[in-house]
Amino acid sequence: MAVKDRREQIVQVTLDLLIEKGFANVSTRDLAERAGLSRSHIYHYFQDWPTLRQEAFTRFADAQLAETRAAVAGRAPPAAVEAFIRDCLSAEPGTGMELWLDAWDEALHDPELAAAYAATDLRWHRLLETIIVDGVARGDFRCASPERAARQIFAMTMGYADDVLMSSDAMSAEQAATEVIEAATLILGSA
């Protein structure tokens, strides 16, 4: 198998295991067994286990960001903000929300993962900020600082996403989206 293909296989199997078992419950032994490789073979392609976990998480997060970009593309700014919020608050099984929360928890103890998580968050924040800047330019929004508005809306959305994930019935994704969209309307000074 080509080097690129082998690396891809290792990252994908790592990601599958992280989604299935969580960051704290996966080891290189699990990975080697699932991928049908020796541990030394894995380390031939990756410097260490933290680097591999970081790459798998970044790949996962960037794929989700690409999906959200597609969901907001071509929409007027108010509709794009709503689509962004709803996409982030999806409670559908298999959306990977658990992995986000697990990665955040693990990042508290892993500086390299924390840096990757922060960089990923920034890319999401920038997408929302771009939508808001466009909305201000078109007259849809009247906020003084698109950067600050994006940061506030993104932080609120992620907080609600945690609530949706952690509660089985206390808060539905629809209720959370409605509340965040209502607050976003106030923050953005929507017309």
Q: Where are the domains of the chain?
A: 1-46, 50-188
Determine the pLDDT at residue 78.
97
Determine the pLDDT at residue 159.
85
Tokens 């924390």 belong to residue: 114
CA angle 44, 61, 51 (to 5 degrees): 25
Determine the pLDDT at residue 1.
61
* Per-residue pLDDT tens over the stretch 5-17: 888 999 999 999 9
- Among 17-26, 142-151, 155-164, where is mean pLDDT lowest? 155-164
Backbone angles phi, psi at 22, to 5 degrees: 95, 155
Q: Which residues, other chains included, contact 122 with Cβ-Cβ below 8 Å and sequence gap of 6+?
A: none
* Per-residue pLDDT tens over the stretch 57-99: 999 999 999 999 999 999 999 999 999 999 888 766 566 778 8
pTM confidence score:
0.87
Query: The domain at 50-188 falls in which architecture?
Result: Orthogonal Bundle (1.10)
Nearest to 52 by CA among 87, 24, 10, 21: 10
* Per-residue pLDDT tens over the stretch 25-55: 998 899 999 988 888 889 889 999 889 999 9
Given this chain, do its domains 1-46 and 50-188 carry the same CATH topology?
A: no
| From the candidate CATH numbers 3.40.190.100, 1.10.10.60, 1.10.600.10, 3.50.50.60, the one assigned to the domain spanning 1-46 | 1.10.10.60
